A and B are shown apart, each in its own frame.
Chain A
Amino acid sequence: MTVDISVLIGGEAGQGIQTVGLLMARTCHMAGLYVMAINDFESRIRGGHSFIQLRISDRPVHGPARKLHMMAALDERTYGLHQPELTEGGLALIPKDHADTMAQHHRCKMVDFEGLAKKAGSSILANTVAAGTCLALLGAPFDLFENVLKLTFNQVEEKRLAQNVQAAQYGYTAAEDETFKWSWHWAMTSPKGRLVDGAQAVAFGALAGDCRFSAFYPMSPATGIIQRLVDMAQTVPLVIEQAEDEIAAVNMVIGAAFAGVRAMTATSGGGFSLMTEGLGLAAITETPIVIVNSQRPGPATGLPTRTAQADLQFVIHASQDEFPRFVFAPGTPFEAFSVTARAFELSERFQVPAIILMDQYLNDSLFVAEESFEAPETVAPYTADDDLEDPAGYRRYALTDSGISPRALPCKGPALVKACSDEHDEEGHITEDADIRDVMVTKRFAKVAAMRKEIRPPEVIHAGSDILLICWGSMRGAMVEAVNQLRVDDINCGGVHVVDMWPFPDAALSEILEKVTQFFVVEQNQSAQLGQLIRQQTGCQYTDAVLKYNGRPMSAGEIIDAIKTKLR
């Protein structure tokens, strides 16, 4: 039997929608199922509308579903907004008060979430009641859910746990006279991998990259990354400081990196805009830093809590003038983990800034990751203070064939280290000399040849197909699912996913694209930024683009429909 069920729970901000999503995801995960949970919320503390969409399956799932099988509406608005998404025969659980609007292509069941919650101790427990009813209808054993509640609340307080268990029981009881046509037998196998969101994966990667310092200014959706780091920082030599603004944050990171520790900051596009000045400083002073840009729609404030992939061209070109940099765009939590650790290593080795493009969808959604997250056994020191033959003659920007100068640290030995944001000579002194300027630009760009060798080629699925769908970053899950479904529908297509974005994998992509008749880029921006980049770097013109930029993640279904239309 194949399970692939989507459940939406929605209500107002402040009703614990994210918590209930986490509880249900944990329950599914503990039963050995695959699950993902997508958070959708507004930029507000109370009121409004927020929801979480769970996709539960006995096979790996990596992207959002378009249709819902079940909905639990904690308020009337949720039902009104999402009722069109219910599939034929779907089930809506709606609060008792609003029994009037009965659309007939799906079933409605009234559940007095709030009344039952009050009976269990507090109206705030309505989310747990809803989770109970949903899980009961899906067929989940009650003791499984009870265990998850214990795991979640046992560190908080006994009373809260007891109330939640009571609320869950009321939720289960409310489901007794109802059936759900897609319910299945929960076989209870051992959990698959780990449940993780992108934010936590980046934080894990930072630890595995030996990050010692982080400065940040709160900005959705990047704040979660730093929160995860703070949560884990207690036992490791890692200091985290909330800066007065993003400008200070990136400069603190540069100062710490200059002094000799690996350092990073995380922000979204608006904060990254403020950091571009510092990005250039890191570049000309050849100070290794890692910046995570968790994208959201812009420009300016845009849609603070929503998702986008519209900063690719921006971060590749950000700052005045030009210089080498790494840009990565992970597509899964495991890639977010491994790419972050790699970014620290490569940034330090090449003494260049590294940028990681996340987005709200990857950042805030829960996924099952089956890969193991392992810290490397050693982290290579690239600083050179101990092996200097002539510390007195040390020159921070000494010319080398590789463009990489031995990097001594300030106050760590007799070598004096002079870093300078003006164009400088080998010693780090200001220069106006035209020849030295030429030499220094050439020196910095000399690193690119070796940087290119570190760039991993794009992932290709179903190589040798006539048609390719090409995406980057968090579009991976939906793209892979779309490709597999299109193949079932007799369309001979494959997929390409780019993670290592810059230096651009020109040669690898050219080779892939030469063999296909058509290729389509799939992106969450308006102008097909990857498509433009491919054309610029390889001369290959994409056939067409599947684009979405309303701030909501693209599903496989949307990609399939768009591709079929374009191929017609």
Chain B
Amino acid sequence: MVSTNDYHSDYPNHWCPGCGNFGILDAMKSALAGLDLPPEKILIVSGIGQAAKTPHFLQCNCFHSLHGRALPIATGAKIANHHMTVLVSTGDGDCYGEGGNHFMQAIRRNIDVTVLAHNNGVYGLTKGQASPTSMEGMKTKMQPGGVIAGAFNPLAVALSLSAGFVARGFSGEGDQLSDLIQAGIRHRGFALIDILQPCVSFNRVNTHKWYKDRVAPIEKSHDETDLITALRLALGTDDRIPTGIFHRRESPSYTDRIDKLNDKPLTDHRYRPELLKALLTDGYP
């Protein structure tokens, strides 16, 4: 049995004390141990930002890539070896800003990766500028008059693209978050878990208490197979912030739909020159 200790890393962690990322990291370890997945079976792809540093703080295979580009990297890696369990550790700026188009297209492809989007509504690594999910009117050093643009709603966008697994977690609700991550990894296809978290250094609006006062688990009666109900829930009608699984419905993933991959991953084929001979000697263009 895999335990959370198997994921322990000695690499020094420099997140701010009280950062929501710690709760997310713990939930990841407990989810992975809960699924009995050893570190050598998972690949975590990340972009740039504080969230993207996560794979350094646990035992795993990782590709710490470029700002916004985690999803294309993860897509290529998954196509090359679809037997890997691929997680994407990203943030609101990384995933919804710089990588916004990649986010939409990855959903359309239904590539089987689990996206953990650390969403703190602010840029931490670059010290406090607005992010795509900053609330309208939030004042920062760069936006002294308040953020003008409306906040990006990742869940509504994902649902509008018929994403197969859409959930919201909160860094302060570790057990629930661990369950969501497990469900996301089990889901065959694209899974988005938008994870609300406070930024103790730069977001003075959405504090731990602010979230605590608002988050509430989605009611048990919610039909997670009904896309429209999920979308209504994601668009929100009052101050409450529902957490849990908004929508879950499996359909064949990107790699499921490629016949060539039924047999084995691309990485497992040996080179066969005899297959090429006919192609290379073929007559006219």
Contacts and interface: CB of A to CB of B under 8 A. Distances in A.
Interface residues of A, number: 69
Interface of B: 11, 39-43, 45, 48, 53, 55-56, 59-66, 69, 71-81, 83-85, 101-102, 104-105, 258, 260-261, 266-267, 269, 271, 273, 275-281, 283-285
- In this complex, the member of A235, A258, A414 whose beta carbon has the largest number of chain B beta carbons within 10 angstroms is A258
A419 B63 contact: yes
A195 B258 CA distance: 32
Contact of A244 (B66, B105, B266, B280): B105
Contact of B84 (A212, A243, A278, A410): A410
27 contacts: A26-B284, A195-B285, A196-B285, A208-B276, A232-B279, A235-B278, A236-B276, A237-B266, A243-B72, A244-B104, A244-B105, A249-B72, A252-B72, A252-B79, A254-B73, A255-B77, A256-B80, A259-B76, A260-B80, A277-B69, A375-B276, A409-B81, A410-B61, A411-B81, A412-B81, A418-B55, A420-B63
A255 B63 contact: yes
Contacts, number: 194
Contact of B76 (A244, A251, A413, A430): A251
A117 B42 CA distance: 63
Interface string A167-198: 00000000000000000000000000011110
Contacts of A261: 80-81, 266-267
Contact of B63 (A195, A204, A244, A285): A285
A153 interface: no
Contacts of B40: 411, 413-416
Given A251-B73, A260-B80, A419-B65, 6 more contacts: A26-B284, A236-B279, A255-B72, A378-B271, A412-B81, A429-B56
B interface, over-half SS? helix
Contact of B72 (A228, A248, A375): A248
Given A278-B66, A416-B39, A418-B62, A375 B273 contact: yes
A255 B277 contact: no
Contact of A239 (B84, B102, B261, B279): B261
Given A22-B285, A26-B284, A414-B40, A281 B65 contact: yes
A260 to B, nearest CB: 4
Q: Which 9 pairs across A and B sit closest by C-beta, in order of nearness?
A: A255-B76, A410-B61, A251-B72, A252-B76, A259-B80, A256-B76, A255-B73, A375-B276, A255-B77
Contacts of B74: 255
A212 B269 contact: yes
B65 A251 contact: yes
B279 A429 contact: no
Interface string A407-434: 0011111111111111000001110000
Given A208-B280, A212-B266, A254-B73, A411 B43 contact: yes
B72 A247 contact: yes
B276 A244 contact: no
B78 to A, nearest CB: 8
Contact of A375 (B56, B269, B280): B280
